[in-house]
């Protein structure tokens, strides 16, 4: 098995289209990979997980700037500055608010079938 993926292989594995990957590159959500001698880009397998993470965050309602911060914090895996701590606390607060809102919605919908 190859050590890297072409953009079409990456798109298939991450369940997105090629244009989505290009968009994520332009937005700085994923790194632009090196090109081989053939001119094709060679994505690392980790890009599949990165794209899946972006999709989950988008589906949960996070904006692209928020996702960039999530990725930055996720990649560093070490929150050191006060600004990073505040950002992390803000993200956790936002997630808790979404969970609360979804819980209320779920409970309302469940009550309809009684």
Q: Per-residue pLDDT averaged across 81-100, rounded? A: 87
Please give the structure tokens belonging to residue 14: 């991450």
What is the band of 2 on the pLDDT scale with cuts at 50, 70, 90?
A: low
What is the band of 83 on the pLDDT scale with cuts at 50, 70, 90?
A: confident
pLDDT at 1: 47
- Whether the per-residue pLDDT at 109 is higher than 90: the answer is yes
Counting every residue written for the chain, the total comes to 114
- Whether the per-residue pLDDT at 52 is higher than 90: the answer is yes
pTM: 0.77
Map 24-73 to HEC letters: HHHCCCCCCCCECCCCCECEECHHHHHHHHHHHHHHCCCCHHHHHHHHHH
What is residue 5's DSSP assignment?
A: E
Query: CA–CA separation, 83 vs 93, rounded Å?
Result: 15
Residue-averaged pLDDT of the chain:
89
Report the SS3 class of residue 80.
Answer: coil
- Whether the per-residue pLDDT at 87 is higher than 60: the answer is yes
């Amino acid at each position: 098995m190859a050590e890297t993926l072409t953009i079409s292989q990456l798109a298939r594995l991450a369940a997105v289209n090629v244009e989505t990957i290009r968009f994520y590159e332009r937005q700085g959500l994923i790194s632009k990979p090196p090109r081989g001698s053939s001119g094709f880009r060679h994505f690392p397998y980790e890009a599949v997980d990165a794209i899946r993470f972006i999709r989950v965050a988008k589906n949960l309602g996070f904006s692209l700037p928020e996702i960039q911060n999530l990725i930055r914090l996720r990649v560093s895996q070490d929150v050191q500055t006060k600004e990073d701590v505040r950002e992390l606390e803000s993200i956790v607060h936002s997630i808790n608010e979404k969970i609360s809102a979804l819980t209320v919605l779920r409970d309302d919908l469940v009550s309809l079938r009684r």
